Amino acid sequence: MMRIAVIGAGLMGRAAVLDLADDSMSPNVEAILVVDINERRAREVYEEAIKLTSTKEMEYRKIDATSKDEVISILKEFKADVTLNAALYTTIHTVMKASLEAESHYLDLGDDVDALIFQRSLDLKFKERGLIALLEMGGSPGLINIMASKAVGELDRVEEIILREGWIDLNNYDSLGIPLPVPYSFDTILDELEQPVEIWKDGKIEKVPPFSGRETMEFVDPIGKQELYYVEHPEVYSLGETFKRKGLRFVDYKLSFPRDLLLKYRLLNCLKLTSNSPVKVDSMNIIPRDLLREMVAQMMENKEVEPNDYDIMRAIAKGWKGGVRSKVTIEALIKWSERWKVSAQALLVGSPASIAAQWIGLGILDTPGVHYPEEIINPIPFLKEVMSRGINFIEKVEFQL
């Protein structure tokens, strides 16, 4: 039995908490702590989750995840075996260090390449305390790393890893009075519009403009044909570093984004409404992004939006098997969860994070240190466990004779 603290009660944190709380899915969890800087949000997730269990101890608290001392104190008080950080990626340095000092295993959903490099520098400190830190363990990054690992394992030598993700939301947001849908973290979307995108090539990072590299790809219904673009994702770096010993020379990631929605976000970006730099208006200094975030929050207030989306992640490994040029494709098909009423995108992040946290708590993952998912997770049993959450997988092997 294990005690798991979840930092952050947003879309992804909520999905992870519901998975952890559900007795039928996660029977080995003894206690769950839900914390967020917004106490109301933490309480709402707690109230949803407690309905899914008859055995677990559950608590919620307000916490500022940017305060290391505050995080250490609450982790120690709760006696957390594992800390699952689902808060905004800007908290990763603080919460990871706090988890180390509180002697709690650690897991997060990922940030960027610079963050990964910093986190790996803490490897020796985690080893000295017998603790595990599992980085970028959500959907993409996270689950897609494990899919790529499975695909690479089918080859004798790998040359390329191509990562693609397509999604579609079937809600009519205009009819709901929501002119700007927010499919995942609002700040993440705004940062993705500005941050250069990494491609891993021949052992080095090359950078390209965000949302460049447009390509069209066909997926199964209801997603169908989608336009995909380069978006900053750290698994490009970790997979490159992990599998370069197997001959890997190239890794990239592209995500589909509805063109009309992308144009709306690009307009906000062009008007510098996504900026974190203060702007003087009359005698006041206003940070445009703070204002925009608040207006979006007010737009969504008291609006009930039922999830109605689908996501497909595709990991393609190209290389050689038995002297024959080969391609292995593994695809994950995700529908929004009717059981927990969470979106497909939240499900594919929250459930893998929950499962990985539980594997740490159960000792299935037992190698101290700081790790990427593809380094220590056995793909076959993990993907089987993910399938119990309603996520399905298709594998296809092609040979060029």
- Residue 384 domain-assigned? no
255, 317: one domain: yes
- Residue 109 domain-assigned? yes
372, 224: one domain: no
67, 189: one domain: no
pLDDT class for 155, splitting at 50, 70, 90? very high
pLDDT class for 182, splitting at 50, 70, 90? confident
304, 350: one domain: no
**pLDDT over 80 at 48, yes or no:** yes
Question: Domain containing 92 — which CATH number?
Answer: 3.40.50.720
**pLDDT over 90 at 1, yes or no:** no
pLDDT class for 185, splitting at 50, 70, 90? confident
Lowest-pLDDT choice from 37-41, 171-175, 252-256, 285-289: 171-175
The mean pLDDT value for 161-170 works out to: 95
| Mean pLDDT score of the chain | 95
Separation of alpha carbons 306 and 18, rounded Å: 16
Structural domain tally of the chain?
2
292, 167: one domain: yes
Q: What is the per-residue pLDDT for 183?
A: 80
- Residue 82 domain-assigned? yes
- Residue 167 domain-assigned? yes
Q: What is the per-residue pLDDT for 175?
A: 85
The mean pLDDT value for 3-21 works out to: 97
pLDDT greater at residue 177 or residue 331: 331
157, 297: one domain: yes
Measured CA to CA in angstroms, residue 7 lies from 57, 70, 109, 165, 192 at distances of 17, 12, 11, 26, 23
- Residue 370 domain-assigned? yes
179, 295: one domain: yes
186, 252: one domain: yes
The mean pLDDT value for 328-333 works out to: 97
195, 214: one domain: yes
- Residue 383 domain-assigned? no
| pTM of this structure | 0.94
Question: Domain containing 227 — which CATH number?
Answer: 3.30.360.10
162, 287: one domain: yes
pLDDT class for 398, splitting at 50, 70, 90? very high
> Tell me: the pLDDT tens digits for 212-263?
999 999 999 999 999 999 999 999 999 999 999 999 999 999 999 888 888 8
Q: What is the per-residue pLDDT for 282?
A: 85
The whole domain housing 292 covers 143-343+389-400
The mean pLDDT value for 286-292 works out to: 91
> Tell me: the pLDDT tens digits for 299-328?
888 788 889 999 999 999 999 999 999 999
> Tell me: the pLDDT tens digits for 57-89?
999 999 999 999 999 999 999 999 999 999 988
Q: What is the per-residue pLDDT for 261?
A: 86
Bridging pattern class, strands 369-371 and 132-134: parallel
**pLDDT over 80 at 401, yes or no:** no
**pLDDT over 80 at 358, yes or no:** yes
213, 329: one domain: yes
Q: What is the per-residue pLDDT for 38?
A: 95
**pLDDT over 90 at 339, yes or no:** yes
State what percent of residues in the chain have pLDDT above 90: 83
168, 284: one domain: yes
pLDDT greater at residue 301 or residue 128: 128
Residue with tokens 């702007």: 279
